[in-house]
A and B are shown apart, each in its own frame.
Chain A
Amino acid sequence: MTTPAIPVIETRRLVLRGPEPDDYPDFKATFSSYRSRFMGGPLNRYEAWMLYAAEIGHWAIRGYGMWMIHARADGRTLGMAGGWSPAGWPEREIAWIIWPGEAGRGYALEATHAARDYLYEQMGWDGAVSYIDPRHLDSIRLAERLGAIKDHDADTIDGHDAVYRHPPPERLRSGQLRDGIELEIGHYCDPLFQAGGMPVD
């Protein structure tokens, strides 16, 4: 019997790994906070636990799922990004969440760009959508920075979400879209100016 395994992805600033037991407190902190209001939260501790265990179960049943994003520099967790496909959803989703204290540094862009590449190029996805609460402006902005476009005709999960359609693999392999995303990530990695206090974004 083979044991399925969760691949590890490395980017300039990040390491994406499967969700591990030690990461649960960080997950719980965000999902029991107001930060998770557009992702079904805030959750109580039972719901947070069940969702965290479900993140892992998703990998087991689907062969893909949400990676835990770690900072290469010190290993701390920053959020999650990856593929998500509950039973009954219209299409496979690319999703992300960044812990509130880590927002504004381009981690979601860098992680989701890498995760999407992996889903497309290593796992054979031919496209994806993101289901986003229309009030979640930061997430809509990120979808757009990733080249996703609102699809007014696509089926939603429950009518309360907007569907953003990601560019297909062939459009992402090379060209202006990819260059623009990587340029922006590059600016986060090598900023021309260091903000003295709070991140500007």
Chain B
Amino acid sequence: MTMPLVAIPVVETPDLLLRGYRESDFDAIADFGCSERARFVGGPHDRWACWRAFLAGMGHWVLRGYGMWVVEHRETGRVAGRVGMILNDGWHEPELGWHIFDGFEGQGYAYQAAYAARAYAARHQGLDGVISYIDAGNTRSLRLAERLGASFEREATLLGAPCRIYRHPTVGGA
């Protein structure tokens, strides 16, 4: 007798593949998590916390039925970031989150990934009109939220730290 784990769906965009996790993704995820780039997502973390986050990225799918994908850059096969829905203990409601790794900024990949993840969540995961938590100092993410049509809803506190809640428009499910 066995208990199945969840298969993480694959979502394709013109430049990106949103897919499940491989051990070979860990270095890219740890490079981001241990770096200053992670300062707006609770980091920088030590390597153990990055490993835990890497495994937890998979486990979240089992616990919630949705989660963050690994974003693969199709042309190079490199890991460009992570994107997807997050509902950790302590979150007010499911959040659309995005992490874009060094070297993949400024090319519209974050928009492409977040747009596709949001559409998938609305259509297949029953999550529409979702929020994003964004640090007030994270100007790139604030701009991306606005480009995605999200609007400021309120100031909030997440894990004891102040942040802003942006609300995405409903994009249609069914």
- Name A residues whose Cβ lies closer than 8 Å to a Cβ of B: 1, 3-8, 17-18, 20-21, 24, 28, 44-46, 48-61, 86-88
Contact = CB atoms under 8 A, between A and B. Distances in A.
Contacts of B52: 50-51, 54
Given A45-B89, A45-B90, A50-B53, A57 B59 contact: yes
Contacts of A4: 4-5
A28 B88 CA distance: 13
Contacts, number: 105
B59 A60 contact: yes
Contacts of A24: 63, 89
Given A51-B52, A88-B47, A88-B51, 12 more contacts: A3-B4, A3-B5, A6-B3, A8-B2, A18-B3, A44-B159, A46-B90, A53-B55, A56-B59, A58-B55, A60-B59, A61-B23
Nearest to B7: A3
Contact of A5 (B2, B57, B60): B2
Contacts of A57: 21, 54-59
Contact of B6 (A3, A50, A58): A3
Does more than half of chain A's interface fall in helix, strand or loop, or is it mixed? Answer: helix
A56 B62 contact: yes
A48 B23 contact: no
Interface residues of B, number: 31
Interface of B: 1-7, 21-23, 26, 47-49, 51-60, 62-64, 88-90, 159
Instruction: Report which residue of A54, A55, A57 has the largest number of chain B beta carbons within 10 angstroms of its beta carbon.
Output: A57
Nearest to B10: A1
22 contacts: A4-B5, A5-B3, A5-B4, A5-B5, A6-B3, A8-B2, A28-B89, A45-B89, A49-B88, A50-B52, A53-B58, A53-B59, A53-B62, A53-B63, A58-B55, A60-B21, A60-B58, A60-B59, A60-B62, A61-B23, A61-B58, A87-B26
Contacts of B1: 7-8
B66 to A, nearest CB: 13
